[in-house]
Structure 1
C-alpha cells in the first residue's frame, strides 16, 4: 500500500463528476439537435414507433461522435501524458482546466452571438453584482446555455424546413 487514505468527500465528488458525463454528452455535443431533428422527421412521416426511439438515439449518438471527433481529439491532446487517476479533487480540477480551452472554442463556434449576449445580460437581473463582476461572454457558464439554446433553435429550424 502507498499509505494514501481516500477522503470520502473527494470520492463522492469524483464519482458525481463521472456521473455527469452522459449529461455532458447530451448537452455539449450535437446530440440534442440531431435527435430532435430525427424525431421531427419521424413525426413528419406520420409514423409513431418506426424506427424505435432506441434506433433514433443510436443514430444521433453515432452522428454526434462523428461531428464531435475534432473536439475529442483536441481534448485528448490537452490531457495526453497527464496523470488521470482522478484520486482527488485537485486532479479533477487540473483535468477540468486542461479541457476547458478546447471546449470553450467548440461552444463559441456554435453558440449564436445573440444567445451569448442574452445570457450575459440576464445575469444583470439574476446574479448579484459580485457574482457577475468578472463574467465574460466566453465563460462556460454563459457558453453552455447559449450553445444549448442555439442548438435547439437550429434543430427546430431544420425541422420546420423538413416538415
Structure 2
C-alpha cells in the first residue's frame, strides 16, 4: 500500500504511469460484475436457463453453479468478437502507451455500444432518451452508456421472458394432461408433479432440449 501511495507522490513519470494502470485495473475489476451482467448477453442466457429448470420442476437440478458456468462460457463465446475488438482498439494501445485513457475509453465503448444497440428495442431506448430530454442522435456512438445500458437491459429481460414463455408451454401441457388423468382416476391426493416429472424429463431428453436451447440462444445473437 505504501508503495502504491509513494508511486503517486513520486516525480518519476514511469511510476505515475504504472500507478494509473493499477488504478484502472482495480476499477475495471470492481465494475466487472455489473459490466458482465448488464452490458453482455449474460442476462438473457441465465434467465432462459433458469426458466428451463423451473419448467422442468427439477428443483435444484442442474445446480446454480452449473447454470452460471454455462451462461458465463456462452457469454464469452458470443462476446468474443466484441472483446477482441476492444482489446485491439483500446486495451493493447493503452498498455503500449500509444493512446491516452480518454481515447482508450472512447475506442472501447464503440464496439460494446454497437453490440447493445443491435439488440435494444427502439421503444426501450426512446423511453430513457425522452426521460433525459435528449435529442435524436446521429449515430449509435452518440448515445451515452448511461442511456443505452438500461435500455439494453430491459430489452434483454423482455426477450428472455418471451423465450421462457415458449419453453413453458409444452411442459404445461404435460402437467395438465397428467392432472386430468389423475382426477379422472380419482387419485386427487397424488401430486401431479410426481407423475409428470419423469414424462417432462423424457420429452426434454428425446427432443435434445439442451441443444435446442443453446441453438436458440446463439441464433438470437
Unaligned runs of 5+ in 2: 1-9, 169-221
Match of 1:106, SS state, is helix
Is 1:27–1:148's contact at 8 Å kept on the other side of the alignment? yes
Find 1:45's aligned residue among 33, 53, 56.
Answer: 56
Compute the displacement of 1:94 (Å): 2.9
Cα distance change, pair 92–18 in 1 and its aligned pair in 2 (3 A): farther
Larger radius of gyration: 2
| Alignment match, 1:107 | 116
User: For structure 1, which runs of at least 5 residues remain unmatched after alignment?
Assistant: 125-131
> Relative to total residues, which structure has the larger helix share, 1 or 2?
2
Q: Which residue of 1 aligns with 2:152?
A: 147
- Deviation, 1:11, is 7.9
- Considering Cα pairs closer than 8 Å and 6+ residues apart, tell me whether 1 or 2 has the greater RCO: 1
The alpha carbon displacement at 1:12 in A equals: 8.8
TM-score, normalization by structure 1: 0.79
Secondary structure in structure 2 of the residue aligned to 1:20: helix
d(CA) in 1 for partners of 2:31, 2:48 = 24
Alignment of 1:4-153 (within 5 A): 4=13, 6=16, 14=24, 15-79=26-90, 81-84=92-95, 91-124=100-133, 132=134, 136=137, 138-153=143-158
Q: Which ranges of 4 or more aligned residues in structure 1 deviate by more than 3 Å? A: 4-7, 9-13, 134-137
SS of alignment partner, residue 110 of structure 2: helix
